[in-house]
Amino acid sequence: MNWKSRIDKTHLPEHVAVIMDGNGRWAKQQGKPRVFGHRNGVKAVRNTAEAAAELGIQWLTLYAFSKENWRRPKKEVGALMGLLVDTLGKEVKTLNENNIRLQAIGDLDLMPDRNRKALIRGMEDTRTNTGMTLILALNYSARWEIAEAAKKLTKQALLGEISPEDITEDRMAAALTTTGVPDPSLLIRTSGEKRISNFLLWQIAYAELYFIETLWPDFSKEDFYQAIVEYQSRERRFGKISEQLTT
């Protein structure tokens, strides 16, 4: 089915977040080591970013590496870090050709120096682009992010810059790493797993959740378009009832 032809361009999610899952299982199916799956997952990243940009989606956040991922075998983590550097170096030209700006969220100060420098270089080389913003969540944890925001607001209160009564939902949101970024309207997770895995817990309070069996390396543009069609078929009420949306 041509899912793209069914998309209503006037009703696109402003921000799509993706949990890219299934690289290891995909590699195992091929009789290859897990790193083989991660390498092949880069194609799905490219497909997804291009599909989102072509539709006119403004923000795309990809869960690339969590704080918990450091617990994986040292060889796999090292390969992932090396792949990140290589991919950023190769893909900046593609990002610029598609007018895509690169940003990142997470505990970036604790990233290996080589990776952090490659990331900063990629963000700097694309900072003037005015199309879609691609956000990579690296060394990211939603619980870490919320705790860091709480620390920031607590310090401001202790210094007398704000009072405890000033700590509202809006102020909390502004203290997160995603300040200035609209909350995701749609969260996609591949590989058939149906959990959030400590990703954007504050920001996805009202996101539509879409789970697909496809393993990440096989995730295509058509899969992305199908997710958008499914999103557009849902009624987003934000606590209201259906009748209130039509009045």
Residue 148 lies in a domain: no
CA–CA distance, 245 with 247 (Å, rounded to integer): 6
Any catalytic annotation for residue 183?
Answer: no
Residue-by-residue pLDDT tens, the chain, 247 positions? 799 999 999 999 999 999 999 999 999 999 999 999 999 999 999 999 999 999 999 999 999 999 999 999 998 999 999 999 899 989 999 999 999 999 999 999 999 999 999 999 999 999 999 999 999 999 999 999 999 999 999 999 999 999 999 999 999 999 999 999 999 999 999 999 999 999 999 999 999 999 999 999 999 999 999 999 999 999 865 454 455 555 5
Is residue 162 in some structural domain? Answer: no
- CATH at 207: 3.40.1180.10
Measured between alpha carbons, how far is residue 48 from residues 52, 103, 124, 223, 228 in Å? 6, 16, 22, 9, 12
- Two tokens, residue 128: 């003037």
Spatial separation of the C-alpha atoms in residues 145 and 201, rounded to whole Å? 9
69 is catalytic: yes
Structure tokens at 47: 């497909």
Q: Is residue 191 part of a domain?
A: yes
36 found inside a domain: yes
223: its two tokens? 């899969």
Inside any domain, residue 149 = no
**What's phi and psi for 220, nearest 5 deg?**
-110, 175
Segment 152-162, tens digit of pLDDT: 999 999 999 99
Length of the chain in residues, anyone? 247
Options 21, 23, 40, 98, the catalytic residue: 21
Which residue in 47, 69, 96, 198 is the catalytic one? 69
Q: How far apart are CA 5 and CA 160, in angstroms?
A: 55
pTM: 0.93
In a domain, 4, yes or no: no
In a domain? residue 127: yes
H or E, element range at 143: helix 142-158
Residue 5 lies in a domain: no
Q: Within 13 Å, how many C-alpha atoms sit on residue 223's CB side?
A: 22
Per the structure, the count of domains in the chain is: 1
Question: Where in the sequence is the domain holding 33, given as residue range(s)?
Answer: 10-140+185-233
